[in-house]
Amino acid sequence: MAILVLLTTAASSEQFDRSVTALTKASFANLKVAYDCRHVLGIARYHEAYIAVENALRATGLPTDVAMAAAEDLAKEARASSLRMPDRGSQNCFTTFVHTKKDLDRRRATVTAPLSSQPK
């Protein structure tokens, strides 16, 4: 019985780690779009996306100060990659932002859902 509990816990831990990694990637993708499209979406969307990155990094178990520093590094990366991208049109910005935000919300729900309700 103890072995079954350990295996279940290990599998759950691996699943959680994968979910948190996916959440962090989705947060970064949303941050990049929010920064690239800030002229269309407004700066508030960028700030919301930045906070989502901080929260995703804290969900990994990082201490708050480390998560905030890592979030700033990712924001710098997003700003730098924006310099290499062509200007996005208004409709493309809105559509892409909605897509990345939905993916972020879905990933966040997976991480915050109780283990018993997560798909196996």
Average pLDDT per block of 10 residues along the chain, 120 residues long: 40 79 92 92 94 88 90 92 69 91 91 57
pTM: 0.77
Can you tell me the distance from the alpha carbon of 82 to that of 35, in angstroms, rounded to the nearest whole number?
7
pLDDT of residue 58: 87
Provide the strand spans (E) within the chain: none
pLDDT of residue 84: 59
Mark 46-59 as b/e (b = at least 16 C-beta within 10 Å): beebbebbbbbbbb
pLDDT of residue 4: 37
**CA-closest candidate to residue 73, choices 95, 57, 59:** 57
